[in-house]
Chains A and B, each alone.
Chain A
Amino acid sequence: MPSARLPLVFVPWLTYVALTVVAPALNGAAAAEAFADHAVITLGVSGAILMLWLAAIRMRPGHGRQRPPSGKVAAGTTNRRTARGGSRTASG
């Protein structure tokens, strides 16, 4: 069964949005007139920065390139892909 792989930078973004937008909204701040402004600005600015950050990571040289398997393979191990997508090599 495949596992989901979420880019790590989503953790700070989700935490930021949870604490600055979701938690105040659940505590009744959504009724305040200024909250809509705050929520739109927070989601818009942080979302835009997150997208730029992800784009910069993808454009970085070497992104997505897999390390070639090591030439030396110890007895009893394999450098073929396992079910979880990893590989076991002698030198690691």
Chain B
Amino acid sequence: MRRIRFEVPAGDAAVAGAALGTAWALKAFYSKAGFDSLGWILAPTVGLVSWTTGVAFELEPHHAYLSRDQLFLVSPSCAGVNFLIVAFVSLCLGLAPACSRAGERVALVLGSAAAAYLATVLANAARIAVAIRLHEAGAALGPLTPSRLHCAEGVAVYFLFLLVLFSAAARVTGVRHAVG
């Protein structure tokens, strides 16, 4: 009988532990974070959306960014922290086999954090820019109500950015398979 063997070297397990621990801490922080605690990710995202779409947002102190023209709100739930966690964990877990030394593993974790942050700002800005256009058009498609369409658009944009980020990183590091 064909048996599947999963081998996890100690170095890879250390990277996985660091990634999952950081993810857990970030998730715990995000579950309690208010608007003021998320400026480090919301401010550049909204700035990029304004710059690319020309839509002006006003800061509603301690609450959200609001576009009065579009009646569109960017609140803490739109911060993209879940995507940040997914991107960071994916890069760490998927690319750990490419590292053979401790220094390379530290560089992988730090590089993954930086790449995940940049990708989050870009992906979230793209998601919000498309969402503004869909909201403006009042788009709906059969069973896809405007809220479902907003959700589907978010998943599509986030996941495409995740695949592009991950594939680019895998190409750079030379990793080809997840297991084996």
Q: Which chain A residues have a beta carbon within 8 Å of chain B's beta carbons? A: 1-13, 15-16, 19-20, 37-38, 41-42, 45-46, 49-50, 53
Total inter-chain residue pairs, C-beta < 8 Å: 90
Contact in complex: A11, B93 (CB < 8 Å): yes
Contact in complex: A3, B180 (CB < 8 Å): yes
Of the listed stretches B2-10, B41-49, B69-77, B102-110, chain A binds B2-10
Main secondary structure of the interface of A (DSSP, over half): helix
Of A3, A12, A38, A42, the residue contacting B166 (CB under 8 A) is: A12
A19 contacts which chain B residues (CB < 8 A)? 23, 82, 85-86, 89
Main secondary structure of the interface of B (DSSP, over half): helix
Contact in complex: B163, A49 (CB < 8 Å): yes
Contact in complex: B3, A1 (CB < 8 Å): yes
Within 8 Å of chain A (Cβ to Cβ): is B118? Answer: no
| In the bound complex, CA of A44 to CA of B170 (Å) | 25
| In the bound complex, CA of A20 to CA of B166 (Å) | 18
